[in-house]
Chains A and B, each alone.
Chain A
Amino acid sequence: MSELTLAGALTDALATALDKDQRVLVIGEDVGQTGGVFRITDGLIDRFGDQRVIDTPVAESGIVGAAFGMAVAGLRPVAEIQFMGFSYPAYDQILSHVARIRNRSQHRFSAPMVIRMPCGGGFGAAEHHSESTEAIYAHIPGLKVVIPATPYDAKGLLLAAIDSPDPVIFLEPIRLYRLVREEVPEGYYTVEIGKARIEAEGTDVSIITWGAMTHEVREAVEQLAVDGISAEMIDLRTLRPLDEDTIIESVQKTGRAVVVQEAPKTAGFGAEIAALIGERALYSLQAPVERVAGWDTTIPLKKAEHRYMPTTGAIVAAARRTLDA
């Protein structure tokens, strides 16, 4: 066991995978000597060499397209896109080819690969560096979409993603990279893709979230507890395939649901959760489902960013509304 940040746990996962499986390689911009802009691949090139930790030209479509070819030919590439906001040039490759080759070839070819991308805002970055567009990936059949919120999950989920026979979009909340440390086991272990995690059990209201918003939800659960409100906190960890049963069982127990996302509200993944609850748990509900989300604006730059980000207070207020209903 060692105390690691989420970033450190990801580095540990990559090193573990590169060590365990000769087919694994890391490919992306500045992933070599620089160790990536967030230093997630720090030190890997020294240990595994430049044939397995590969610096590429600045070309996201090329990175994903080449990694796709490598995966088809039997390797297990882990491609890094520097920021989620830079992933869109590769979107055609991801949607049209990475996600579809298994269906197009009826299992004759597949693309077991991971596309890592840092996501989310709250740190005053330049435009395009603070995106939460997980819904555009979660919408695509053939992709798995994973977003860890703790160091333990980050390592276990990344190792599971690398081991997955199908392509995985692996989202890394930038705000959580170095927020906390926790005990992370050494060596190989996996966290199952497609399973949500109940971080706090409760009986009055279910709060469902993922990624960096787990931080605000955790604070909200603590504040609600002070007033005697027992909130259940669910960290989805995987958006596709979605762990529907954990959500439904929780809502059937509490009768109330708040969905929290950093992304803009309209057509966000939270809408899918709300619709799912409507389909499968409507008669358990004692109040309308609440959504706490970013506004339907482009996420503002540094000076006004705080006006966009969903706050602990907004989550507490939404939970209270479900109880007052």
Chain B
Amino acid sequence: MRNILDLEGRLVGEAPIDIDTTRRLYRALVETRAYDKKGTTLQRQGRLATYAPLLGQEAAQVGSAAALDPHDWMVATYRDAGAMWMQGYPWEVLLLSRSGDERGGRPPVHVDVLPPSITVGAHMIHAVGISWAEKLQGTDRIAITYFGDGATSEGDFHEAMNFAGVFKTPTVFLCQNNGYAISMPRERQTASDTIAQKADAYGMVGEQVDGNDLFAVYASTKEAVDRARAGEGATLIEAVTYRVGPHTTNDDPGRYRDPEEERMALDRDPIERVRRYLEHEGAWDTDWEESVQAKASTTIERAVELAESLSPPSPEDIFGAVYEEMSPDLRRQFEQVES
């Protein structure tokens, strides 16, 4: 398993990014966590529908997305807000999607990040098709897809990996192995020693990295992105992390795992590790920390205001988005709703 930053925040390998970039990504980690905690709070207050926390997976998402170009494609899931935001999907739009509003699936025009996939596993092949189209059109754009350990059990994982292998598509498969698929542990998903080794079967590179190590995730993803852009095909990265929270706000992990396990996970906290590193490097102090926390908090509060200022979708929004133009039979029903 690739590791660059140890638990104490000391380098055990070469830092792939400079201090300024690390400070920028530290801000992103903090902001992602602020969003995530707000998500759980808002759900408890009845202001969001079901929320799927990403707590503990911040480095896996921020570190991987940081290795992309702004114009690269992303196809991710309901637990990947950190990665999606890094690629330009605004917090307020993410909040909107979690509040039960179709307009949360509509990122700004220049952001080619698909709305979060809710079904498990079917979306990986979309990233294959997208990146294949870019290859056929001769662009240098690649696609990254995020999924969990549970998704690797789906048949569509095989079809996506197989197509990517056969057609050498510029795709990065980023598996966040967070230990659980709702209640089922990783061992119930596969008898393989690692998820990364599955890449061998598809003729592509696979690598297992410490998913709570920002530097390792970044380095591994950057290599995969470079390979894809160079026409050398797809890569499967297994970022080993831990789902500190429940599957969703409807889930109770107390029914299937020892709370002690969650407490132990705190020792591997991905953000604290980067903080310690910056402190060792003389690039962190409490004043800066306070400003980082304050800015994250303000940004997320502003996003909540924006998301909640919108009136609910109209029947026009719903009927008008089934097809490019409303068909006559659909218009007849639409008029019944209006009257």
| Size of B's binding interface in residues, CB under 8 A | 44
CB of B323 within 8 A of CB of A68, answer no
Most buried by B among A73, A104, A110: A73
CB of A61 within 8 A of CB of B115, answer no
Instruction: Choose from B127, B318, B321 the contact partner of A69 (Cβ within 8 Å).
Output: B127
**What is the CA–CA distance of A110 and B105 in the complex, to the nearest angstrom?**
12
CB of B115 within 8 A of CB of A104, answer yes
- Nearest CB on A from B192, distance (A): 21
B203 adjacent to chain A (CB < 8 Å)? no
CB neighbours (8 Å) of A165 from chain B are: 323-324
Most buried by B among A61, A69, A102, A106: A69
Which of B8-16, B154-162, B240-248 lies on the face that meets chain A? Answer: B154-162
CB neighbours (8 Å) of A166 from chain B are: 323-324
A73 and B107 contact, Cβ closer than 8 Å, known pairs A66-B132, A93-B122, A106-B317:
no
- Nearest CB on B from A4, distance (A): 30
Most buried by A among B129, B163, B324: B129
Which of A34-42, A51-59, A260-268, A287-295 lies on the face that meets chain B? Answer: A51-59
**What is the CA–CA distance of A271 and B330 in the complex, to the nearest angstrom?**
18
Q: Which residue of B lies closest to A92 (CB)?
A: B122
CB neighbours (8 Å) of B134 from chain A are: 73
Instruction: Choose from A65, A107, A245 the contact partner of B125 (Cβ within 8 Å).
Output: A65
A105 adjacent to chain B (CB < 8 Å)? yes
**What is the CA–CA distance of A89 and B155 in the complex, to the nearest angstrom?**
10
Instruction: Choose from A62, A65, A70, A105 the contact partner of B115 (Cβ within 8 Å).
Output: A105
A97 and B317 contact, Cβ closer than 8 Å, known pairs A66-B128, A166-B323, A242-B329:
no
- Nearest CB on A from B323, distance (A): 5
Most buried by A among B134, B159, B324: B159
A106 and B102 contact, Cβ closer than 8 Å, known pairs A62-B160, A241-B327, A244-B328:
yes
CB neighbours (8 Å) of A105 from chain B are: 105-107, 114-115
CB neighbours (8 Å) of B329 from chain A are: 240-242, 244
CB of B109 within 8 A of CB of A108, answer yes
Instruction: Choose from A59, A110, A245 the contact partner of B163 (Cβ within 8 Å).
Output: A59
**What is the CA–CA distance of A69 and B124 in the complex, to the nearest angstrom?**
10
CB neighbours (8 Å) of B143 from chain A are: 69
A72 adjacent to chain B (CB < 8 Å)? yes
- Nearest CB on A from B314, distance (A): 12
Instruction: Choose from A61, A62, A103, A194 the contact partner of B322 (Cβ within 8 Å).
Output: A103
What 1/0 flags go to A25-40 for Cβ under 8 Å of B?
A: 1000000000000000
CB of A69 within 8 A of CB of B132, answer yes
CB of B321 within 8 A of CB of A107, answer yes
Query: What DSSP secondary structure best describes chain B's contact surface?
Result: helix
Question: Chain A contact residues (Cβ within 8 angstroms of B): what range?
Answer: 35 or more
**What is the CA–CA distance of A109 and B114 in the complex, to the nearest angstrom?**
8
- Nearest CB on B from A271, distance (A): 16
Q: Which residue of A lies closest to B107 (CB)?
A: A108
Instruction: Choose from B105, B119, B126 the contact partner of A72 (Cβ within 8 Å).
Output: B126
CB neighbours (8 Å) of A103 from chain B are: 102, 318, 321-322
B133 adjacent to chain A (CB < 8 Å)? yes
B337 adjacent to chain A (CB < 8 Å)? no
CB neighbours (8 Å) of B123 from chain A are: 97
A72 and B156 contact, Cβ closer than 8 Å, known pairs A105-B115, A109-B114:
no
B60 adjacent to chain A (CB < 8 Å)? no
CB of B114 within 8 A of CB of A73, answer no
CB of A108 within 8 A of CB of B106, answer yes
B103 adjacent to chain A (CB < 8 Å)? yes
B136 adjacent to chain A (CB < 8 Å)? yes
**What is the CA–CA distance of A108 and B96 in the complex, to the nearest angstrom?**
15
**What is the CA–CA distance of A223 and B162 in the complex, to the nearest angstrom?**
55
A106 and B128 contact, Cβ closer than 8 Å, known pairs A57-B163, A166-B323:
no
CB of B126 within 8 A of CB of A104, answer no
CB of B324 within 8 A of CB of A73, answer no
- Nearest CB on B from A36, distance (A): 19
A69 and B107 contact, Cβ closer than 8 Å, known pairs A194-B328, A241-B327:
no
Can you report 16 A-B residue pairs in the complex whose CB atoms are below 8 A from each other? A56-B166, A57-B162, A57-B166, A61-B156, A62-B159, A66-B125, A72-B126, A74-B133, A104-B105, A105-B115, A106-B317, A106-B321, A142-B323, A165-B324, A241-B327, A244-B329
Q: Which 7 residue pairs across A and B have the least CB separation, nearest first? A: A69-B129, A65-B125, A241-B327, A62-B159, A73-B133, A66-B129, A165-B324
Given contacts A59-B159, A69-B75, 9 further A-B contacts (CB under 8 A): A65-B122, A69-B127, A103-B322, A104-B102, A106-B102, A107-B106, A108-B107, A142-B322, A142-B323
Which of A's residues lie within 8 Å of B, judged by CB?
Answer: 25, 51, 56-57, 59, 61-62, 65-75, 89, 92-93, 96-97, 101-110, 141-142, 144, 165-166, 194, 240-242, 244-245
